[in-house]
Amino acid sequence: MRKKLPNSLIALFCFLFAGVLIYVVYHSSTKQTMSQAVTVKSSHKKSATSTSSTASSSTSTEPSKHYPDLSQYQNLSVHVSLKKQQMSILSDNQPIFTTTVSTGAADSPTPTGNFVIEAERGDFFYNASSGEGAYYWVSFKDHGIYLFHSVPTDQYGNEIPEEAAKLGTPSSHGCVRMSRTDAKWFYQNIPEGTSVTIQ
């Protein structure tokens, strides 16, 4: 007659078996969750890299402009063409830089003739009467009245899109407008006393 196992031993075996089963199921589930997390993390990383690459590509396609070092040139002069809506900087009567500008509208024309770059200049102004301001202004007539400056901004320095879109057409109050980048370079580099011809 086969000897019967004690109930306590049977219970111990059942307990151990259940423990092993729980261990296997738990670790299998944890492994799968970790694998999914790694997959998601990898996916996010690829997405971020793709976005960064796209942004970098977009930035690199923006046109860049070469600004000459004016300190390396002599006999500088500034010429503004009302017909072409262009400003050129010349050295010994040879153009070394040309850019698009906006001169005065029909009811507020830019004065024509010969002038000079005057002492007055600044990095920002706002005219409450016209409701417009601008960055990087340089006076060429009447000591702060007629200026070279950026496209217009509001009183907080925000560029006014509809005015910026007019660059290249006569639309100012008599000053000579240019892009903010051009205006900053001009403000920082054009020497006082440089002759200005507007025609």
Cite the active site residues: 149, 175
Give the list of residues 6+ apart from residue 36 with CB closer than 8 angstroms, or none: none
Query: Quick one: tokens of 129?
Result: 């009467």
Query: Between vectors from CA 107 to CA 103 and to CA 108, what angle results, nearest 5°?
Result: 45
DSSP bridge pairs for 197: 79, 114
